[in-house]
Amino acid sequence: MQNDVCCQCTSSKLGTHRSTLVASVQGQQTIMASPHPSLTITFDANTLEAVARPERRAKDPFHASYVSIQRAIKDGFLAGYFSQTYCTLEGIQGEDRPAVLGKTRVETSSTSPDRNTVNIRIETKHHRKPLHKEHDAALQAVLQLGMRALRGPARMVDGLVIKDPDNTIYVTETIEQVIAHRSTAGEVAAAIEGRGVGRAVALELGLKFNERAGVTSELWLQGLARARPDEYRLVRKAIGEWSDGDAIASHVGYGIEVFCTNDFGRSAGGPSVLDAVNRAWLVATYDVVFVTPIELAQRIR
């Protein structure tokens, strides 16, 4: 995994038309199959896996909803998307997160081809294990449904992206569109972090652990490796919150119409981008439409 990459990419704004379909999702109407373009949905990590492989959740009370949503995607009525953080952050196993992210390094090198020229190279090095086989199997099921990943904010050190040399994971778009979408996502992510949620939670932990160790010259990501065993749970939740914040930022950046999640931020251990207060702010500021899988399934047939 490298720090920043753009793939050759198709569409402009993926959700520029907020049709009556969205109004139906917000209200109580049933959405009927129609000649309108597919309703665009961003699925968070948990709903994504459930929709891609509902057979693995046969005892889940929402199982029928997942089946209905999957069918609607296969029929072309819903167009599904997911955040790149499903791989870059959620793809790191919970207890591994402090050590894996803590191995991030910035490396520099220089060359001087002649007496008047100095070339300086600055590169961020990220350490990643292969995706766990179950996580990878879920990703393959997602991709087989035709769902594609949304790029996130462009950041200097922690703007993590997926290696996608064959253009099979990310949405297809032009370089200009990549820049525009990531720029908007970056603005939204910064606003989220300004409220003390999203990536800000993990950032604060990393800085806190560095300060505790008397370290002032290392990355905040390296600070996460200084978590004590009894703090691993804090780091795990903080990375989950970072993932949620970036998922919302990408959702807004790409103009996707509906965000599907069962997460209300209750397990975050503190303020969350998905709690009631921040949901209200996202609705008022960015017109984000939240639905649960059961709400979405009740309105499609």
Residue appearing with tokens 């995607």: 73
Q: Is residue 198 part of a domain?
A: yes
- Residue 18: the pLDDT is 39
Q: Lowest-confidence range among 81-90, 164-173, 266-275, 280-289?
A: 266-275
Confidence bin at 33 (pLDDT 50/70/90)? very low
Q: Is residue 145 part of a domain?
A: yes
For the beta sheet containing 258-260, the strands, ordered from the edge strand earlier in sequence to the opposite edge, are 148-150, 78-83, 39-43, 258-260, 290-291
pLDDT tens digits, one per residue of 158-212: 778 898 999 999 999 999 999 999 999 999 999 999 999 999 999 999 999 999 9
Confidence bin at 23 (pLDDT 50/70/90)? very low
Q: Is residue 2 part of a domain?
A: no
What does the pLDDT average to over 34-47? 80
Q: Is residue 223 part of a domain?
A: yes
CA atoms of 112 and 77, how far apart (whole Å)? 57
Whole domain around residue 90: which residue ranges? 20-98+132-298
Confidence bin at 1 (pLDDT 50/70/90)? very low
Percent of the chain with pLDDT over 70: 87
Q: Are 183 and 249 in contact (CB under 8 A)?
A: no
- Residue 9: the pLDDT is 30
Q: Is residue 88 part of a domain?
A: yes
What angle in degrees, to the nearest 10, is found between the helix axes of 276-286 and 175-194?
Answer: 140
Q: Both tokens of residue 299?
A: 């309105």
- Residue 268: the pLDDT is 64
pLDDT tens digits, one per residue of 202-218: 999 999 999 999 999 89
The answer, yes or no, to whether residue 55 has pLDDT greater than 90, is yes
pLDDT tens digits, one per residue of 81-131: 999 999 999 999 888 898 899 888 888 888 988 888 989 988 777 777 888
Q: How many domains is the chain partitioned into structurally?
A: 1
Q: Is residue 127 part of a domain?
A: no
- Residue 160: the pLDDT is 86
List residues bridging with 109 in a β-sheet.
121
- Residue 37: the pLDDT is 57
Q: Is residue 103 part of a domain?
A: no
**Sequence-separated (6 or more) residues with CB below 8 Å from residue 194:** 200
Q: Is residue 3 part of a domain?
A: no
What does the pLDDT average to over 59-68? 94
Question: What is the model's pTM?
Answer: 0.85
